[in-house]
Structures are given as structure tokens and as C-alpha cells.
Copies of this chain bind each other. A is one copy, B any other.
Amino acid sequence: MIPTPKSLKMKSLLIFLVFSLLFVPSLCTQEPSNCHQLTRNMILEYPDGGRGGADPEEVILQCTSWRFAVEANNMNSWKTIPQECADYVKNYMLGKGYLLDLERVSNEASVFAKSVHFEGDSKDAWVFDVDETLLSNLPYYADHAFGLEVFDGVEFDKWVSKAMAPAIESSLRLYEEVLSLGFKVFLLTGRSEKLRDVTAQNLINVGFKNWDKLILRNTEDHGKLATIFKSEKRSEMMKEGFRILGNSGDQWSDLLGFPMSTRSFKLPNPMYYIP
């Protein structure tokens, strides 16, 4: 099935996908409980059950369409990525696509940040989410099939406790620019309050400094949907007189609700969904 290596430049993307498809069955053998699909009508059904016989162009088309639906917030709630898109997501996350998308969203946010007229009362604020917005958990997700496995909070917290998550470089540049322009910077994360110290340490270690407030989930916030929790916290900011002009997050639950920021910036994340 793998083509000969001539004309590699033109074929490399397709070769990579054909090659990658061969690994889907082996992942399923190791983790049978995770080999389910969320919405059957999302993805073409292949006669051989998706075990390597699918047209790679068709897989790219279908998985690109799925990813668009995720990024535009059209998908109903989902728990794992579609099995057929396992290698598509992996290739996207480890390849140039993810980096390009991160760069673009930071560049657009930067253009907007520089266009803001400041009132001069130090009440103009920018909100940043943490995971997959400032810090990257790609090392963790690389060990957990890039979203093909159901999220395991206990395992994830072990990773968080190591405080080893690298910075998303384009977000760090935006972060520093936003601070230097004079915005108040609020970090608003779904992480638990008990992870405050490791979170702050991780952020500082990789270059995020001088935030105005780091807000985590208190005991009373556990069990709340992220949209509700984060809206409540933005509402508190508003009551304290802050104008939330920019909001950067990788989940729509970081951005939607009331009040919304003047401008929201959706960072790419096809690996998981937080309602």
C-alpha cells in the first residue's frame, strides 16, 4: 500500500496518511474500550471497518470537515475524536498545520490588541485560558493517542503536577505584547485550586510572568460546566469595573456565555471538548 519514494515532495502528505492508517487497528487492539465513535453519521463508513483500506483523500476530506465543525463550534458534545481521524489529528498536532493556526490566531489577536483605545483607568482587560492556550499538554496527549482515549482526570493531574508543560510560543509573544500595551491580564482556568502552586510555577518557568490574577476552580465551582464557571468569573470582573476586550481560549466554553469579551480568539484544539 505504501507508494515508492519517488516524487516524495508531491506525495508526502498522502503517503504519510496511508502509512499512518496502518496503525489504527493496533491502537484498537491495545485499548478496545476506547475504540468507539461518537456520532456515526459524522464519518463515512468504510466496508472494511476503517482498517487501512479507506481512500486517504477521502479520510483527509472527512476529517478536515470534522475539524472545521469542531473549531466553528458546530459539534454536539463529544468525548473522543473519531477513530478514523486518529492519525489525521496526530499528524495535524505534530505537523505544520497546528503551528500555522496558532501563529495566525496570535497575529490576529495582536492586530486587535494594538487597535484598542485605552480609557486610561487601568480597567481594560484580556483573559487567557491556560491549557492549550498558554501551556501545551502535547507531551501528555502524545502518550494518550491525541484524544482517541477518553480523558482520564487522575492521569492528567499527575502530568499537571510535574509542572513540565511547555509554553505555546505564539501565545507567549501575544501575552507579552498584551501586557506591554497596558492590559490587565487575567488567567482563567478550569484547573482545580489545589493545583495553583504547580500551575503558577509551570507558567513562570516557561516565561509567563506578571499576570494580575490567576483564577482556578474553588470547591464550589467543581461540577459546574466550564461555560458557567468562566461566565461567572467574567461577570465578577465586569462588576469590579473591568472591560474585557480580549479573550483567548482553545475551547468555546472559554469564550461563550455572558458577558462575552469584545473579541474572542479561538485557538485550535481538535483533541478534546470541554462543555
Contacts and interface: CB of A to CB of B under 8 A. Distances in A.
A127 to B, nearest CB: 16
Interface stretch (A55-63, A177-185, A217-225): A55-63
Main secondary structure of the interface of A (DSSP, over half): helix
Contacts of A260: 256
A61 B108 contact: no
Given A97-B61, A97-B64, A74 B13 contact: no
A39 B115 CA distance: 15
A10 B11 contact: yes
Nearest to A108: B74
Contacts of A33: none
A195 interface: no
A69 interface: yes
Interface residues of A, number: 47
Nearest to A75: B108
Contacts of A12: 57
Contact of A10 (B57, B69, B265): B57
Contact of A266 (B61, B74, B264): B74
23 contacts: A3-B10, A10-B57, A11-B11, A14-B14, A39-B111, A41-B107, A61-B96, A65-B100, A65-B101, A66-B104, A67-B68, A68-B101, A68-B268, A69-B101, A69-B104, A69-B108, A71-B71, A72-B105, A72-B266, A74-B105, A74-B108, A75-B108, A76-B111
A107 B42 CA distance: 8
Contacts of A266: 72-74
A34 to B, nearest CB: 22
Nearest to A65: B100
Interface in A46-105: 55-57, 60-62, 64-69, 71-76, 96-97, 100-101, 104-105
